[in-house]
């Protein structure tokens, strides 16, 4: 089951957020939640690189608690893609990479969209994202 998707730009602003089956909502404002999530991921990245016993290449991939898994993918341009799912899903990095490709095709290559710092409102992006997520074998809206 896929819960939520966050996309962060290199400055740490959340430029896209969507939820599917999310049962718990935080008591804080949504932008506070984005800041907390970005902060967590940025710290985990630094933490895991420093702690790494061997030379890391791209570092942090995912973490799991007893209720959810947070999957992480970072492009070379420091765009961060986060997907939360339940524990049945294995690595969803392929799906995140697919979302990244949809993003480059529909948002980056669109000359009418400013390069930085705008939330994604492309309908094409949203519809193609929706298809990609729903085609994933780990998506079910139980």
Partner 1 sequence: MVFYSLYIINKAGSLIYHYDHNLQRNEVEKTYSYPLEFVLDIVDDRVVVRFGEIDGIRVGYAVLAVNGIAVTGRTFAKEGEKTDIDVMDFLGKSQNYPVQLKFGRPPLRTNERIMLASTFHSLYAISAQISPEHGSSGIKTLDTDVFRLHCFQTITGTKFIVLTDLRQDGMDALLRKLYQIYADYALKNPFYLLEMPVRLDLFDQNVQAAIEQVDKTGVSVI
The residue (of 91 and 127) whose beta carbon lies closer to partner 1 is 91
Least CB distance from residue 95 to partner 1, whole Å?
Answer: 16
* Residue 117 DSSP class: S
Span near partner 1 by CB under 8 A; candidates 66-74, 99-107, 110-118, 121-129: 66-74
Question: Which token pair is 27?
Answer: 């008591």
Please give the helix or strand (H or E) that residue 128 lies within, else none.
helix 123-135
User: What's the CA gap between 26 and 16, in Å, rounded?
Assistant: 18
Is 53 an interacting residue with respect to partner 1 (CB under 8 A)?
yes
Q: Could you tell me which of 118, 45, 133 has the C-alpha nearest to residue 83?
A: 133
Minimum separation from the CB atom of position 80 to partner 1 (A): 15
Sole residue written with tokens 């800041």: 35
**CA-CA distance, 73 to 82, in Å (whole number)?**
7
Site map 84..123 versus partner 1, x via CB under 8 A: x-x----x--------------------------------
- Minimal distance, residue 54 CB to partner 1, in Å: 5
């Amino acid at each position: 089951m896929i819960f939520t998707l966050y996309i962060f730009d290199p400055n740490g602003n959340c430029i896209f957020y969507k939820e599917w089956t999310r049962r718990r909502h935080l008591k804080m404002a949504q932008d506070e939640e984005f800041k907390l999530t970005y902060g967590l991921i940025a710290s985990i990245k630094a933490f895991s690189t420093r702690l790494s016993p061997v030379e890391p290449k791209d570092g942090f991939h995912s973490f799991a608690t007893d209720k959810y898994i947070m999957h992480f993918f970072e492009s070379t341009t420091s765009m961060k893609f986060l997907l939360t799912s339940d524990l049945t899903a294995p690595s969803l990095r392929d799906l995140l990479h697919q979302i990244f490709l949809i993003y480059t095709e529909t948002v980056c290559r669109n000359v009418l969209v400013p390069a930085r710092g705008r939330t994604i409102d492309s309908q094409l992006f949203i519809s193609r994202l929706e298809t990609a997520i729903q085609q994933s074998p780990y998506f079910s809206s139980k």
